[in-house]
């Protein structure tokens, strides 16, 4: 009895795999599985059956196609080892292209530097004009800046000295008599106008032993009534005010001898704010004791106690004082 021919179907049945799997072996290893006859159906040699058996086992072990091909070349003389093509290294010239954002940023930076230089030059010219006018009025003796080897430092030094001299000269206007060739009413009007200019230029005097954090100065300001009820303080237009608003209103509405000096101090329970009219003939000194409290709407500053000229009064009187300030 003659032996049955080895076809795809026959090899698959012997190895226990599908016929499609055996055909895939031929596609992956075209020169490794010897063919006995290319008729229909294709018939293979006994070596082909052994090669397919080893391919099955190596694939089951997790080897790749290349690794399996190497092992087959070691086991069978008629199988040539695989030829691995090494990729050729190409020396490519890499062209560095700057992004448009970088170019735009550099252009904007250059434009800003030019504008800054122009504004600095304009500021120096304006200060020179003011300086010459003050010298004509005899209000200031502003000397030229000392030359420096560094032009930038020289300009900064000149700018600083001129600014200090101008502030000193403007401050003298508050105590000097402004002469006028007009009648007495015009002279009085000029004096008041001159003082108004000085008041807008001279900032509120503030002696801070311990500067409160900025978040405290921007918190809404409330008062605590005797019943324990919190009532917000209102400024212009019935809007809530903060410590910054209170300070700004005092600086705006109280000037010259009536100007307030502000002193801050911190204690274990909170903050103390002293508002002192040190130059007023009849001073109205106020002392506020406050603490930070959390509410459903956020953190607020609550005024616990208030004294006026050393006499303790209810914190609610502060609302009357603020209303009087905004009505001035």
Q: Which residue has the tokens 């006995």?
A: 36
DSSP 147-189: P-SSHHHHHHHHHHHHHHHHHHHHHHTTTS----SS-HHHHHH
Q: Which residue has the tokens 């009820």?
A: 229
Residue 105 to residue 100: CA distance in whole angstroms: 9
Claim to verify: residue 26 and residue 69 sit in the same structural domain:
yes
3-state secondary structure of 273: strand
pLDDT recorded at residue 22: 93
Claim to verify: residue 196 and residue 238 sit in the same structural domain:
no
- Residue 12 within any structural domain of the chain: yes
pLDDT recorded at residue 149: 54
Residues of the chain scoring pLDDT < 70: 1-3, 84-101, 103, 138-156, 165-210, 226-227, 237
Claim to verify: residue 212 and residue 289 sit in the same structural domain:
yes
Nearest to 316 by CA among 250, 252, 231: 231
Task: Tell me the Cα Rg of the chain.
Answer: 47
Contacts of 291 (CB under 8 A, 6+ apart): 269, 270, 271, 301, 302, 304
263 touches 207 (CB < 8 A)? yes
Q: Which residue has the tokens 């807008």?
A: 200
Claim to verify: residue 260 and residue 294 sit in the same structural domain:
yes
Residue 246 is classified by DSSP as H
Claim to verify: residue 128 and residue 22 sit in the same structural domain:
no
82 touches 73 (CB < 8 A)? yes
Cα atoms found within 13 Å of the Cα of residue 82, Cβ hemisphere only = 15
Residue 282 is classified by DSSP as S
What CATH number is given to the structural domain containing 69?
1.10.1660.10
Claim to verify: residue 222 and residue 191 sit in the same structural domain:
no
Cβ count near 302 (within 10 Å): 20
- Residue 107 within any structural domain of the chain: no
Cα atoms found within 13 Å of the Cα of residue 316, Cβ hemisphere only = 8
- Residue 83 within any structural domain of the chain: no
Instruction: Show the domain range for 283.
Output: 203-326
C-alpha of 117 from chain center:
26
Claim to verify: residue 218 and residue 300 sit in the same structural domain:
yes
- Residue 89 within any structural domain of the chain: no
pTM of the model: 0.37
Claim to verify: residue 212 and residue 298 sit in the same structural domain:
yes
pLDDT recorded at residue 168: 67
Count the domains in the chain: 3
CA 21 vs CA 4, 25, 43, 169, 317: distances in Å: 21, 6, 16, 102, 98
- Residue 108 within any structural domain of the chain: no
Per-residue pLDDT of 239-271, as tens digits, reads: 888 888 888 888 888 888 888 888 888 888 788
């Amino acid at each position: 009895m003659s032996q049955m021919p080895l076809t795809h179907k026959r090899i698959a049945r012997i190895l226990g795999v599908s016929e499609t799997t055996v055909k895939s072996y031929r596609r992956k290893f075209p020169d490794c599985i010897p063919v006995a006859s290319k008729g229909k159906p294709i018939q293979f040699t006994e070596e082909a059956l052994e090669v397919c058996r080893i391919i099955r086992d190596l694939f089951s072990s997790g080897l790749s196609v290349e690794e399996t091909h190497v092992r087959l070349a070691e086991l069978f003389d008629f199988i040539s080892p695989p030829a691995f093509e090494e990729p050729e290294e190409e020396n490519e010239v890499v062209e560095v292209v700057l992004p448009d954002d970088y170019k735009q940023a550099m252009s904007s930076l250059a434009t800003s530097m030019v504008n800054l230089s122009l504004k600095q030059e304009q500021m120096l010219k304006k200060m020179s004009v003011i300086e010459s006018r003050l010298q004509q009025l005899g209000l200031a003796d502003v000397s030229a800046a000392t030359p420096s080897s560094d032009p930038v430092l020289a300009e900064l030094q000149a700018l600083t000295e001129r600014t200090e001299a101008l502030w000193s000269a403007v401050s003298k206007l508050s105590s000097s008599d402004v002469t006028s060739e007009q009648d007495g009413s015009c002279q009085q009007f000029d004096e008041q106008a001159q003082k108004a200019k000085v008041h807008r230029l001279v900032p509120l005097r503030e002696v801070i032993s311990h500067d409160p954090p900025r978040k405290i100065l921007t918190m809404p300001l409330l008062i605590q009534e005797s019943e324990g009820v919190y009532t917000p303080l209102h400024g212009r237009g019935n809007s809530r005010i903060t410590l910054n608003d209170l300070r700004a209103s005092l600086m705006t509405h109280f000037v010259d001898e009536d100007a307030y000096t502000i002193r801050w101090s911190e204690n274990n329970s909170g903050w103390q704010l002293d508002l002192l009219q040190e130059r007023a003939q009849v001073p109205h000194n106020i002392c506020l004791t406050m603490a930070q409290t959390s509410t459903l709407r956020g953190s607020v500053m609550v005024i616990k106690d208030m004294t006026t000229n050393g006499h303790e009064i209810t914190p609610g009187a502060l609302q009357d004082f603020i209303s009087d300030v905004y009505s001035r």
